[in-house]
Amino acid sequence: MKEQLQLSGQTMDGDLRGDLARIAQWVRPDSRVLDLGCGDGALLAHLKQSKNVQGVGVEISDDRVLSCVKRGVHVIQQNLEDGLAMFDDQQFDTVVLSQTLQSMHNTEHILREMARVAREGIVSFPNFGYWPHGWSILRGRMPVTGQMPYDWYNTPNIHLCTLKDFERLAAKLGFTILERATFNDEREVKVLAGWRSTLAAYRFSARRHA
C-alpha cells in the first residue's frame, strides 16, 4: 500500500500529496508546465483546473499513461533516461520532476535538460539524511521507511542524497535555488530539516550569463 500511495499524486482522501501541493503553489497561473514522470497526472490536472496551466506530462507506465488520459492530461509515453530531445530550448516556463530524481541513472544530465527546456525547475526527492536512516545503518541494515519502502535488493532508488548533497550539485551545475520546502509525511518541517524531514522539494533556475 505504501508503494502504491507513493506512485499516486493524491492522498487517500483525494487531496494532492504534500510535495505536489507545494509544487502547485510555486507554479504561476497561465504558464506552460512539463511534468516528468507525471504518474497518474494528478498534478497537471489540478494545475489545469486551478491555474489554467497548459501542461504536458512524460510517463513510461502504461497504467499511469491511461490514468492521465482519463484525467484529460496531455501525456507522452517515454523513458526519461532517453532524454528530452523532443522539446525545444525554453519551451516551458516550469519543468517538474517529482520523486523521480533518485531513480535516474544520469542525474546531472536530466537536471541540465530541465534547465534547457524551462526557465525554472522543480524537483522533489526522499531525504536520505532523515535521522532514523542513520540509526538503521548503525544497526547494520539499509533503511526501510514510509518514504523509501523498499528493501536494498528491489529498490528503484539508485542515487539517494541528503539536502546538502542536492544543494552542492545545484551549485556545481550553476543553478540558483529559489525556494525549498521539506516534509515529514504530509507535515511541513522548518526546524532541523536536514535531520527531521523525509522529503524535500526545491525550486531553482539556471544562472544565465551574457
pLDDT tens digits, 149-178: 655 555 556 778 899 999 999 999 999 999
pLDDT for the residue 4: 35
Would the pLDDT of 32 be above 50? yes
Stretch 102-106: mean pLDDT: 88
Burial letters 86-123, b for 16+ CB under 10 A, else e: ebeeeebbbbbbbbbbbbbeebeebbebbbbbbbbbbb
Give the confidence band of 144 by pLDDT, cuts at 50, 70, 90: low
Contact 106, 80 (CB under 8 A): no
Name the grid cell of 206.
539556471
pLDDT for the residue 57: 97
Number of domains in the chain: 1
- 187-210 tens-digit pLDDT: 899 899 988 999 999 999 986 543
Specify the pTM: 0.85
pLDDT for the residue 5: 34
Residues comprising the chain, all counted = 210
Domain that holds residue 46: 2-206
The enclosing domain of 44 has a CATH number of 3.40.50.150
Q: Is residue 10 packed enough to be buried (19+ CB in 10 Å), middle (13-18) or exposed (0-12)? A: middle
The lowest-confidence range among 65-74, 86-95, 108-117, 133-142 is 133-142
- 64-96 tens-digit pLDDT: 999 999 999 999 999 998 889 999 999 999 999
Contact 34, 56 (CB under 8 A): yes
Would the pLDDT of 44 be above 50? yes
What mean pLDDT value characterizes the chain?
85
